[in-house]
Amino acid sequence: MRSYVRILCMLLTLVMVLSCGLVACGNQKPQEDEGNTNKIDSTEELPPEDYTKIPGHTMRGMHGHKLKPVEGLNLNNADFNILVPQSSGWVVSRDFATERSEKGADVIQDAAYNRVVALKDLYHVNVKAITATSSVKIQAKTDIEGQLGTYSLVLCPVTNIGSLSLDGNLCDLTEFDEEEITLEAPWYNQNFRSNMTIGGRLFYVIGDFSIIDNEGISVLQYNLDLFDEYGLDNPYTMVHNKKWTFDALHKLCKGYVNDFDGNGTIDQYDEFGFLTSSSNILFFMTSGGVRYAEKDGDDLPYLALSNSRTIEVLDKALKLFADTTATAYFDDFKKDPAFTIHEATNKIFMENRALVRQCSMYRITQTRSMVSDFGILPLPMADTDQQKYYHMYSFASPAVAIPSYLKKEISYSAAAAVLEALSYYGRSILLTAYYDVVLKGRVARDDDSREMLDVIFDSSYFDIGCCNNFGGISYVFNSSGANKLNTFSSDYAAIKDVAEAKIEDYIDNWSKFLLKA
């Protein structure tokens, strides 16, 4: 019966695919720029007039905050260049579109376009996303140190922007007036803001300026039809009751790895309880409450991994990850030239051959055409003592910053005001489309999954040690995951001194000229 159901769903999926195929850095007066070639025409239809309403949920609401436009700010149609990562070149069309999609086919592109139009109407500025030709960190650093002023904002992966901020390359966002940047506003991620300060200073932020960070968050996708077929417990109930733990997930998935094609080898053509990768164990360590680094009373980071809780959480995670009757690593599969590894895992899930898989939110959006019903779940807690869910974002999540050298047409206060407005409109326009229309309206198929999205996005956690990857600390659990053995003590001992030295270097760099008295 199980094989018949799988084959039937595989055929249905194939039919559907075939049918779809047929500051504090200074102050300069903005000057006129005659070189505008932006496609935006501010006389075109503007976005919805009430930017503060986000229908359908409150977690991503404004909580009483409103944009406070800088009075009299007019950038005279100057170009406002934003450097964006090469690896995420699609951010140009997704987050800073300069034209609408054809016949409204892409709701995200249209919302991004509306945001740019709203900004142009507000400050008379032409936003242009410039994709880096190399590393954003290197390209931005070269531009800043060469005093070229090519970019007014820099969007840089969170694992690189910490080192970019050294030596005064980025502006301290805490030194701007509240009218220019309101850092406590909900369009900035408050967990990131709290954890990424150093000595009370903050040089970059993550929030609704971009939706890429939301796409990269690690979550669980599970097959509702298979759960019903096998009579498995409802995981939504466990989430609500704070019983959704490593052990609970393990119990659900145990015994469901099956040599579906009968070739004597567990590979991408078989069936799985829990489908993940060896490196994904680091996300479970964060969801289990483990902290790579904490901060002291002076707001300075220190390593925080060396404790019994780290060992305990890793042991609990390995019970799941090391159980070959429950779990399979997709990175162990022999590569099929017909598919990328992510296409292969999508295929496995859409063909009803995995009960649960760990993936990014972006991968879930790629399975919208799946025949069987699926649900979305947060990563589990280590145990019931934890009582709070945590979610680490992708290392590719981009943070935004103001370079310490700008061209004369854009003042530092103007750059701050544009960052603020793009973040505000990102929440009220772009996030509405992404969160309510795409995720809650098209991807999530039931009310419970929609509620799970609130749980997931409301439990983001950015660890200053992991984000800065001091001495390679972010990968300290990789060996344990790959070998399915708890080798943390020796792995940590091998990098501890280097990691501590990197933290000291990091602090020393700031102490020269940035730490508050």
- DSSP label at 331? G
Report yes or no: 257 and 325 within 8 Å, Cβ to Cβ. Answer: yes
User: Which SS3 state, helix, strand or coil, does residue 288 take?
Assistant: coil
CB 163 within 8 A of CB 137: yes
Q: Locate tokens 């992510």: which residue?
A: 342
Structure confidence at residue 52 (pLDDT): 36
Quote the CA–CA distance of 222 and 129 in Å, as a whole number. 36
SS3 sequence of 403-472: ECCCCCCCCHHHHHHHHHHHHHHHHHHHHHHHHHHHHHHHHCCCHHHHHHHHHHHCCEECCHHHHHCHHH
Distance of alpha carbon 109 from alpha carbon 127, whole angstroms:
15
- Give me the pLDDT at residue 41, please: 39
Two tokens at 78? Answer: 């100057």
Q: What CATH number labels 78-214+396-443?
A: 3.40.190.10
CA-wise closest residue to 119 among 431, 432, 429, 437? 429
The pLDDT value given to residue 395: 84
Is 1.10.760.10 the CATH number for 218-392+470-495?
A: no
What local confidence, expressed as pLDDT, does residue 513 receive?
A: 60
**Per-residue confidence (pLDDT) for residue 64, from 0 to 100:** 79
HSE (side-chain half, CA atoms, 13 Å) at 16: 14
Say if residue 217 is exposed, middle or buried (CB neighbours under 10 Å; 0-12, 13-18, 19+).
Answer: buried
- Output the DSSP codes for 8-42: HHHHHHHHHHHHHH---S----------------T
Residue 15: per-residue pLDDT: 40
Cα angle: 338, vertex 339, 340; to 5 degrees: 140
Dist. CA 266–CA 285, nearest whole Å = 26
What pTM was computed for the model?
0.85
Which one, of 268, 230, 284, lies nearest residue 252 by Cα? 230
Distance separating alpha carbons of residues 45 and 513, to the nearest angstrom: 47
pLDDT tens series, the chain, 517 aa: 344 334 434 444 444 333 333 344 543 333 333 333 334 333 333 333 333 343 333 335 777 788 999 999 999 999 999 999 976 555 665 788 888 989 888 888 899 999 999 999 999 999 999 999 989 999 999 999 999 999 999 999 999 999 999 888 999 999 999 889 999 999 999 999 999 999 999 999 999 999 888 888 999 999 999 999 999 999 999 999 999 999 999 999 999 999 998 999 888 999 999 999 999 999 999 999 999 999 999 999 999 999 999 999 999 999 999 999 999 999 998 878 777 888 899 999 999 999 999 999 989 988 988 999 999 999 999 999 998 999 998 888 899 999 999 998 899 999 999 999 999 999 999 988 888 888 888 888 888 988 999 999 999 999 999 999 999 999 999 999 999 999 999 999 999 999 999 999 999 988 876 544 4
The single residue listed with the structure tokens 């009803």 is 352
- Which helix (H) or strand (E) is 69 found in, with range? none
CA angle 429, 435, 440 (to 5 degrees): 135
Beta strand 125-131 with 78-84: parallel, antiparallel or unpaired?
parallel
Largest CA distance in the chain: 73
Task: Decide if 78-214+396-443 and 218-392+470-495 have a common fold.
Answer: yes
Q: How far apart are CA 100 and CA 116, in angstroms?
A: 11
Location of structure tokens 């070229």: 148
Contact 27, 374 (CB under 8 A): no
For the chain, give every domain's residue range.
78-214+396-443, 218-392+470-495
Region of 124 please: left (phi>0), alpha (psi -120 to 50) or beta: left
Instruction: Give the C-alpha distances (Å, rounded to integers) separating 419 from 70, 255, 346, 426.
Output: 12, 51, 36, 10
- Residue 60 is predicted with a pLDDT of 56
Centre a 10 Å sphere on the Cβ of residue 345 and count the other Cβ atoms it contains.
26
Is there a contact between 78 and 410 (Cβ–Cβ < 8 Å)? Answer: yes
Provide the token pair at 201.
């200073």
